Structure 1
């Protein structure tokens, strides 16, 4: 330790005032004034500084929801694609993403009710193609439609837009900021609000994204554009994506920032795999879903221009089997209605599939098969959950909406 005279000399050279003996720290006087902020103004504290300039935060407490019915979860494709939100379908180039998405679009528009083993909604579709030209899409459409026994010219409510490859960006990066929508995105949004589709397909992120895929803000703000559109227009949006090389190698299907996955509510991945004979098949896997079970893996194979579930019956045979199950469900519902028995879609007392499984009109079908038929019939609009009884009880039962 320096001697007292040497310490004073050191402080003098540094232009500092040597410390004075002020006694024990406990005896130091408490400050009576706040220090000044960087701009010289007194620091009056966070609360007082915000009060005059910041609008109040909107807060909601659970009692506000008392008596307000909780809307059921809606799916564009059950347990895979939520309605009113964004889903990413990833897969390596040439793996069949566009064909799989086109099969979904035709199932939705034609009210077929099924898509690769799950139930899907029905309604108009917009398909924005930033990669495939119209001639190639026509060839794919023809193959997929005829595989399902459909004349392509009868698909009236599937709306394509084929973007110019040099002018197909839907979102571009601002300088040091998030992604901003382009006039082309605004035109797409206007078409969505005009047509009111239940599904919008964008093929693909690589073609329409004008930002840095590794930038978290770019990824989140780009997905956010479509989430806002999906919620306001009440439609599902499916963005097709090419994973990075590491995503393909690891099997995760990811590419770029993790916020591509974090910002979406669901993500599917189409993986190319080798079959036992050395050929190639595909596996459609649910990598993420915020509203249902993740991890579903559906083995599919190429057959006459489209994909079918591996080991399943041909598409016409599968459609015929679905029709038998649906007719059995409706026969049970008609019998229960005639008997004055109320049935309901959710598990519990009066759960329709379990009630119907014990009825002779079910023709031996299991309640699980009838439950899948119920999903198809709801999606096709042939049955509905209809209020009955006193309005104060908010009770609903299943009823037919159309006759077959």
Structure 2
């Protein structure tokens, strides 16, 4: 049962969101042995508590803008700087088996150990993980690899505030919808809400949407109602809530990463999409590369992507690359550079690695029809040359008579 302070805070959340003007006092439900279930309509109003109608003369509570002169502008707060805003809920979607749960567990461990997560530093503090897709042993295996990476013990994780709730095979519903369109929060939601208010986790992971929400994913009103209840959790926790989900076939093919209504994009303040590398025929290859795309960031940079590689039981950034497209483009540039270098050598056309030389290799190669056809320019080929030097695939060799030495760029045997 929610204590009065948490119930009041929950109702205030609805008022802050603009869905509720003023609510009549509610009575506590009668005690029984079943978990409490509270009924809400699509906008979060308790079914047993009709709204008080405002009088026709009641004034609108406009924000007094003139009073803001001279006041310090509030600093935006983040659970993870520029990626996850504080006191907001977000969606983390991805095809099954791509690694969402591992990446989300890594984020929670980073919160409780105050360490790096994918190149960022999450705010230190407790974290909750509700897992409805894996059993306790699988979660144990995954956390063991993650704890080893962060040089932490399981006791360190527990002391730091990591709370894991395995729900495989159990009813993990947090929010449901009745046939009449009313939205219900379950006893599990109540208990989670109360724990969030007491412990104040920096992040709550709900894995996954299909187990936590038994409403209609294509009903925009129900989608927004579910998102509102997740934001209520984020507010009472003074942290973030991340709901993991699976995209529909259309969401996969379009690259949106969504399932059902487009309201899933609008209802959440941040959204991430994880996908595997695809081959030309769109079949998923057997490799360890993933792309994590930050599809929506309401208050920070948008469109950022990270390339991750599966190694030692977790996903880590791949060589500083920002996208799979960039990796593929760099690979094409490296291959073309080597091909052109061999062809020029066969034709007796020597090229140089010196930028001021008239036969500077990137300049000469950028003018070649093959480079123009694939859209590779001088900067692309210059970067390719530097990568090939670093990889030991090209070198500068001397040639000519000892009295007139010369040098040229060549493929290293």
Give TM-score, length-normalised by structure 2.
0.60
Q: Who is 1:59 aligned against?
A: 62
Q: Is the 8 A contact 2:131 2:168 kept in 1?
A: no
Q: Distance in 2 between matches of 1:210 and 1:305?
A: 32
> Among residues 280, 285, 289, which one is paired with 2:297 in the alignment?
289
Q: Who is 1:238 aligned against?
A: 242
> How far has the Cα of 1:228 moved from its partner?
1.9
1:112-153 Cα distance to aligned partner (Å, 9 max, x none): 1x2112221110111111222211111100011112222233
1:55–1:258 distance in 2 versus 1, CA, 3 Å: farther
Q: Who is 1:6 aligned against?
A: none
Match of 1:293, SS state, is: coil
> How far has the Cα of 1:312 moved from its partner?
5.3
Match of 2:173, SS state, is: coil
> Among residues 311, 314, 317, which one is paired with 1:309 in the alignment?
317
Question: What is the count of residue pairs matched by the alignment?
Answer: 263
Q: Who is 1:68 aligned against?
A: 71
Q: Who is 2:219 aligned against?
A: 215
Q: Distance in 2 between matches of 1:128 and 1:166?
A: 12
Matched, 1:226 2:230: yes
1:226–1:55 distance in 2 versus 1, CA, 3 Å: farther
Q: Distance in 2 between matches of 1:233 and 1:54?
A: 37
> Among residues 67, 82, 87, which one is paired with 1:84 in the alignment?
87
Q: Who is 1:193 aligned against?
A: 197
Q: Distance in 2 between matches of 1:310 and 1:275?
A: 18
Q: Distance in 1 between matches of 2:132 and 2:239?
A: 20
Bigger radius of gyration, 1 or 2? 1
Match of 1:71, SS state, is: coil
- Please show how residues 50-199 of structure 1 align to structure 2 within 5 Å: 52=55, 55-112=58-115, 114-156=116-158, 157-163=161-167, 165-199=169-203
> How far has the Cα of 1:77 moved from its partner?
1.6
Q: Distance in 2 between matches of 1:144 and 1:202?
A: 19
- Please show how residues 353-364 of structure 1 align to structure 2 within 5 Å: none
> How far has the Cα of 1:190 moved from its partner?
0.6
Q: Distance in 2 between matches of 1:82 and 1:221?
A: 20
Q: Distance in 1 between matches of 2:55 and 2:70?
A: 36
> How far has the Cα of 1:55 moved from its partner?
4.6
> How far has the Cα of 1:79 moved from its partner?
1.7
Structure 2 stretches of 5 or more lacking a match?
A: 1-52, 322-413
Q: Distance in 2 between matches of 1:165 and 1:68?
A: 53
Q: Is the 8 A contact 1:107 1:120 kept in 2?
A: yes
